[in-house]
Amino acid sequence: MRYDFDTVIDRRETYSMKWELERLSRISPHFTMGADHIDSETIPMMIADMDLQSPKPVIDAMHRVADHMMYGYSSHLADPRYFTSLCRWFKDRHGWEVQPDQIINSHGTFGVLTHVAHMYAKPGQGIIVMDPVYGHFSQDIEKWGNEAVRCHLVNNDGYYTINYDLLEQQASDPNNTLLIFCNPHNPVGRVWTPEEIRKVSEICEKHGVFIISDEVHCDILRKGVKYTPFLTACVNKANAICLVGINKSFNMAGLSCSNAVVQDQGLYAHIVKDYPAPLPSPFAVAGQIAAYEEGDEWMDQVTEYIDGNIDWAIDFFAQEMPKVKIVRPQGTYCLWMDFRAYGLTDKEVHDRIYNKANVLLQDGIVHDPIEGQCFQRMCVPCARSVLETACRRIASVFQDLK
C-alpha cells in the first residue's frame, strides 16, 4: 500500500509528550524547553519522535491486542516470533546475522543500557561519551555518580569524525571503564564505517574499556547509506553489546520496547544473571513482531519521505538563511544546525527561535555542554507542511541578519 505522510494527524489529547507541552509546562518548567511560553501555535520539533503514522500491520496488531479485552502480565518468551522477527529484519535489511538466543528485551533503551552500565562502571568511575551526543547519556551518567568523560568528535566543517588520540588517552586511564557509543550518531547524523568501528573497538579492547553501542537510529538511513552494526566490525564480540529497537524505527517509543543484542555466550550469561525479568506489555510484544515481520514496505516509504524532508529543509535554509550551516546527515532524522556565523550569543539564538518564531528545537548544549553553544537540533519526521511552516517561521526571525 502507499502511505500518506502528508496528511497532518493531530496528536493533541493523545498523551503525546511533544504535543501536550502547553499542559505539561504548567506542571513543570522542564517541559518549556526554555521558551517563555507555550501555546496552541507552538511547533515542537525537539524530540526524536515521528509525527508520521506507524505501519498498517502494527496498527492492526494493536487492534488485535486491544480486542482481547484483557491486558494482564505478558511475556515475550511465549512467542518465538518476538525473536525470529528481529533476526529476519536485521539479516534482510542490514545483512547482520543475529540468533534468537542473543537478544535481551528491555523496557525502553535505557532499561538494559543502565543495567549494563552499572555492571561495567562502578560509582566514581568514568564513562566515555563522544560529544556532541544524545544528552541523556551524560545526564544519566552524572545521576549515577559517574563522570562523563567527553571525547569530543572533531568538527570538520560540519562533518564529524572520531578523535582516536583523545580516545586512546582517555581509555588508557584505568578509571575510565566504559564507552557509550552512538551509531548512527545522534545528533550529528554520522553512520560509522567498519573501519571507524574497528579502530574504536581496538582502542577499547587494548585498555579494557567495555562498549555499549546505542544503535536505535539504525533503520533511519539516507538512501544508499549502509549501516554497520558495531558487533559486525569490532575486534572482540565479548567486549561490546548493541542496542536496537522499534522505538525510533517505527515511531513506537510509547511502547517502551527495545533490545540488546549480545553475540558472545559468556557475556550474555553474565548480563542476564542479575537482569530483572522484563515484562513487556502485550502491545509491545505484538508491535515488535508486526513491525519486524511486516514493516519493510512502510520503512522504505517513510525513509524516502524523511529524505525528502531533509533535502527540502537544507535547500530552504541554504536559500533563506545561508549563514546557518547544516551538513546532510547520513542517518537519523535530526538536523544539527550551526548558527555560529550569525555572531549572536547562544541565548539570542534560542530566544529568536523559541520565543519569536514559536518553534521548539533542542539547544545544542543539551548534547554538548562545552562546544554546543549556538547549535540547535531539529527533528524533521513530520508532515512536509508542518516542516515548511516551522522553517519559514525560523527564517523570518533571522531576516534582519541575512
Ligand X SMILES: Cc1ncc(COP(=O)(O)O)c(C=O)c1O
Least CB distance from residue 285 to ligand X, whole Å? 16
Cβ neighbors of 397 (< 8 A, separation 6 or more) are 352, 353, 356, 357
Cross-strand partners of 155: 160
Question: Would you tell me which residues interact with ligand X (CB under 6 A)?
Answer: 48, 108-110, 134, 182, 186, 214, 216, 245, 247, 253, 258
Residue among 271 and 321 whose Cβ is closer to ligand X = 271
The string of DSSP letters for 260-275 reads EE---HHHHHHHHHTP
Residue among 65 and 253 whose Cβ is closer to ligand X = 253
C-alpha cell recorded at residue 99: 540468533
Cβ neighbors of 353 (< 8 A, separation 6 or more) are 359, 361, 376, 394, 397
Least CB distance from residue 284 to ligand X, whole Å? 11
Residue among 109 and 146 whose Cβ is closer to ligand X = 109
Residue among 221 and 321 whose Cβ is closer to ligand X = 221
Least CB distance from residue 186 to ligand X, whole Å? 4
Least CB distance from residue 135 to ligand X, whole Å? 9
Cα separation, 216 vs 132, whole angstroms: 17
Residue among 57 and 132 whose Cβ is closer to ligand X = 132
Q: Locate cell 522477527: which residue?
A: 85
Q: Under a CB-based contact definition with an 8 Å cutoff, are residues 194 and 231 in contact?
A: no
Count of beta carbons in the 10 Å neighbourhood of residue 375: 26
Cβ neighbors of 339 (< 8 A, separation 6 or more) are 323, 324, 349, 374, 375, 376
Least CB distance from residue 35 to ligand X, whole Å? 20
Q: Under a CB-based contact definition with an 8 Å cutoff, are residues 58 and 295 in contact?
A: yes
Least CB distance from residue 119 to ligand X, whole Å? 18
Least CB distance from residue 90 to ligand X, whole Å? 17
Q: Under a CB-based contact definition with an 8 Å cutoff, are residues 45 and 361 in contact?
A: yes
Rama region for 361: left / alpha / beta (φ>0; ψ in -120 to 50; rest): beta
Least CB distance from residue 214 to ligand X, whole Å? 5
Count of beta carbons in the 10 Å neighbourhood of residue 391: 23
Residue among 321 and 361 whose Cβ is closer to ligand X = 361
Residue among 239 and 247 whose Cβ is closer to ligand X = 247
Residue among 321 and 379 whose Cβ is closer to ligand X = 379
Cα separation, 4 vs 302, whole angstroms: 10
Residue among 252 and 321 whose Cβ is closer to ligand X = 252
Least CB distance from residue 207 to ligand X, whole Å? 24
The string of DSSP letters for 309-358 reads HHHHHHHHHHHH-TTSEEPPPSBSSEEEEE-GGG---HHHHHIIIIIIS-
Least CB distance from residue 108 to ligand X, whole Å? 3
Cβ neighbors of 65 (< 8 A, separation 6 or more) are 71, 282, 283, 286
Least CB distance from residue 247 to ligand X, whole Å? 4
Burial of 10 (0-12, 13-18, 19+ CB in 10 A): exposed
Residue among 242 and 321 whose Cβ is closer to ligand X = 242
b vs e for 276-303, b when ≥16 Cβ sit within 10 Å of the residue's Cβ? eebebbbbbbbbbbbbbbbbbebbebbb
Residue among 108 and 342 whose Cβ is closer to ligand X = 108
- Residue 188 backbone dihedrals phi, psi, to 5 degrees: -85, -10
